[in-house]
Chain A
């Protein structure tokens, strides 16, 4: 008996036949587009990797740098020597052309103008300001703007501020009114300013030797990366990353010492001890903290935490690693709490019940059964917490004091890697060594957080599964 009786395809009730594949274009394109877009997130990671590294590479390859500079200036199409010259100088001693506007990252533009005034090189200060001004023309309140500009001189110093002035009132908001100690402006800088000026001018006027100088700068930069001084703006710039790394680590350790125990204990309470109603209140409440913008936490640290802690510990620098660490800890708490709580609740209920059935009390169960089972998850929580603090910018900018010191005292000011980028990127010149070094710092941050995440993802998750499922 043949099962396949050939039948002529009859007139079907709905007239639809399926024996031939129909191409549906909307379906086809939808799938292709969706697939393509989904790959975007991978592409973004690769692009970030590429573009952040690309800007950092010139430091290491001083020979290939000139082509890069050239290509950039040709893109900007103002390839006049003057423009190139201006591209070279950081704090533009010679600002007669309009070119510099292109090279500065003028969001924090007010920094440029006052500084030039400080150096006293500015012969045509008035048009200069307009040029750098955020609103270049067609703004009526010109006077007002100018007023703001000149007022900015003082806070500018604060940004690099090692504060030598101990007058409490001024310190309270980190404003330094001391006008002359220019040396202190960049930490421990000892260089002669006049020399600085002259050399800058030389660079500016010497158009032809521009690339060579950049090369030299890069060689110097590479040599100074391991030094202990972060003085990017001086006649002999030193890009020592050690103090920045040290400061970042110091702040991270302080914040973890503060945040990790608190967040993990809170997670233990929520996951093990709390009844359902408490859990429903505590969990979203703590997760609310994740909704606080870091600039708000930074503001709170600057205004409140710094004062409170100062009155407790009586330290001399109002803004320091300790204040910054506590504030960043606040930002890390929800990260650690959420992941640790997840890890604890994903421990199978049977563990918990078995332990209780053996006569262990609730806390014994918590510490000797649940916690060990969830250790990899809690470890991951701390790793991601570290990642959060390590790259935190706004809180570091606002609360750590931003002086590149290397003391062990937790109440000293520090300057973190991320804050350095945030504070200085707005005022460097595109393609300059300083610019490249900042991107190098960015690459370091990127690699570090990427590695932390990868460890948390692959290593820790594997361990966790192994432990819980016994695979």
Chain B
């Protein structure tokens, strides 16, 4: 497959003695939306978190295999995890703005990268908020606390916060699962816009959502990658029985 951004090869992941990912092989294309679906506990979120090494934070996790981004193995000894995470941004299931102002939330990333010039910061923040399609809603209250925003706005703010670091890949862990339908559709629109510039990997419970926004879909089941194909094929003509069962709602 051409234009692949992320390669995963023979990936195994254990939580202590429990296997959570079993021999995953996956190539994620650049500037496309790739959806990871499957019943809860199937390992899709775990897999997503291996892509920016978020699982490093959990002590009992052991990882074998290779994941490479742009040809560089991110589990190599010499990898700088901090910079890796600047390149691979992440949006979480529950919106998690800092208890700071809207401006400071978005400026957080640039600031830790050493940008302190006020004008430059303002420019970055404005652009990020515009790209996250929330600028119009917050431009008049940049100094208000981010915690005063609605759930959907908070989630878009978190996306803006991620964009402000200027990543290449954005990982989204069920970003709309806690939101109402209107906010969800706004987020979905945003994702479709964002894929022009970013490679997006999204975990979702919602199959319609995967069908609507993704180009590729991977179906996980009990730690294994069952099927991976173009979204169209997965939803219209799945190869495996398990995939079909899941998509048609027979389980999960």
- Note whether A and B form a binding pair: yes
Residues of A participating in the B interface, judged by any CB pair closer than 8 Å: 3-7, 9-10, 12-14, 16-22, 24
> Which B residues between 68 and 95 are near A, CB-CB below 8 angstroms?
68, 70-72, 74, 76-84, 86-87
Are B87 and A16 in contact, CB atoms less than 8 angstroms apart? yes
Are B71 and A18 in contact, CB atoms less than 8 angstroms apart? no
The yes or no answer to B168 lying at the interface (CB within 8 A) is yes
Are A14 and B87 in contact, CB atoms less than 8 angstroms apart? yes
The yes or no answer to B27 lying at the interface (CB within 8 A) is yes
The yes or no answer to B229 lying at the interface (CB within 8 A) is no
Residues of B within 8 A of A14 (CB): 86-87, 165-168
Are B80 and A21 in contact, CB atoms less than 8 angstroms apart? yes
The yes or no answer to B215 lying at the interface (CB within 8 A) is no
A-B contact pairs, 30 of them (CB 8 A): A3-B9, A3-B25, A4-B7, A4-B68, A4-B71, A5-B71, A6-B71, A7-B70, A9-B71, A13-B166, A13-B168, A14-B86, A14-B165, A14-B166, A16-B86, A17-B83, A18-B79, A18-B81, A18-B82, A18-B86, A18-B87, A19-B76, A19-B78, A19-B80, A20-B78, A21-B78, A21-B79, A21-B80, A22-B83, A24-B82
> Which B residues between 165 and 213 are near A, CB-CB below 8 angstroms?
165-168
Chain A nearest CB: distance from B124 CB in Å? 11
Residues of B participating in the A interface, judged by any CB pair closer than 8 Å: 4, 7, 9, 25, 27, 68, 70-72, 74, 76-84, 86-87, 165-168
Residues of A within 8 A of B9 (CB): 3-4
Cα of A13 to Cα of B124 in the assembled complex, Å? 14
Given A18-B74, A18-B79, A21-B78, output 10 extra A-B contacts at Cβ < 8 Å.
Answer: A3-B27, A4-B68, A7-B70, A7-B71, A14-B168, A18-B80, A18-B83, A18-B84, A18-B87, A19-B78
Are B78 and A12 in contact, CB atoms less than 8 angstroms apart? no
Chain B, residue nearest A7 (CB)? B71
Chain A, residue nearest B68 (CB)? A4
Specify which of B7, B72, B83, B87 is in contact with A3 (CB 8 Å cutoff): B7
Residues of B within 8 A of A18 (CB): 72, 74, 79-84, 86-87
Chain B nearest CB: distance from A24 CB in Å? 7
Cα of A87 to Cα of B80 in the assembled complex, Å? 64
Chain B nearest CB: distance from A107 CB in Å? 48
Cα of A19 to Cα of B72 in the assembled complex, Å? 7
Are A16 and B83 in contact, CB atoms less than 8 angstroms apart? yes
Chain A nearest CB: distance from B197 CB in Å? 8
Cα of A12 to Cα of B82 in the assembled complex, Å? 16
Cα of A151 to Cα of B202 in the assembled complex, Å? 84
Most buried by B among A4, A6, A22: A4
Cα of A6 to Cα of B81 in the assembled complex, Å? 21
Chain A nearest CB: distance from B10 CB in Å? 10
Cα of A19 to Cα of B9 in the assembled complex, Å? 18
Residues of B within 8 A of A17 (CB): 83
Cα of A409 to Cα of B166 in the assembled complex, Å? 81
| Closest A-B pairs by Cβ, 5 of them | A18-B83, A14-B166, A18-B84, A3-B7, A7-B71
Cα of A194 to Cα of B167 in the assembled complex, Å? 92
Cα of A222 to Cα of B27 in the assembled complex, Å? 80
Chain B, residue nearest A15 (CB)? B166
Residues of A within 8 A of B71 (CB): 4-7, 9
Cα of A13 to Cα of B170 in the assembled complex, Å? 14
Residues of A within 8 A of B167 (CB): 14
Given known contacts A3-B7, A18-B79, A21-B78, is B70 in contact with A10 (CB within 8 Å)? yes
Cα of A327 to Cα of B177 in the assembled complex, Å? 59
Cα of A414 to Cα of B9 in the assembled complex, Å? 78
Cα of A6 to Cα of B86 in the assembled complex, Å? 22
Cα of A410 to Cα of B96 in the assembled complex, Å? 63
Chain B nearest CB: distance from A347 CB in Å? 29
Chain B, residue nearest A6 (CB)? B71
Chain A, residue nearest B88 (CB)? A18
Chain B nearest CB: distance from A22 CB in Å? 5
Chain B, residue nearest A22 (CB)? B80
Residues of B within 8 A of A5 (CB): 4, 71
Are A9 and B70 in contact, CB atoms less than 8 angstroms apart? yes
Residues of A within 8 A of B86 (CB): 14, 16, 18
Chain A nearest CB: distance from B70 CB in Å? 6
Cα of A20 to Cα of B84 in the assembled complex, Å? 10
Most buried by B among A5, A18, A20: A18
Chain A, residue nearest B69 (CB)? A18
Cα of A7 to Cα of B4 in the assembled complex, Å? 11
Cα of A3 to Cα of B69 in the assembled complex, Å? 11
Cα of A9 to Cα of B84 in the assembled complex, Å? 14
Are B79 and A19 in contact, CB atoms less than 8 angstroms apart? yes
Residues of A within 8 A of B27 (CB): 3
Cα of A9 to Cα of B70 in the assembled complex, Å? 7
Are A12 and B80 in contact, CB atoms less than 8 angstroms apart? no
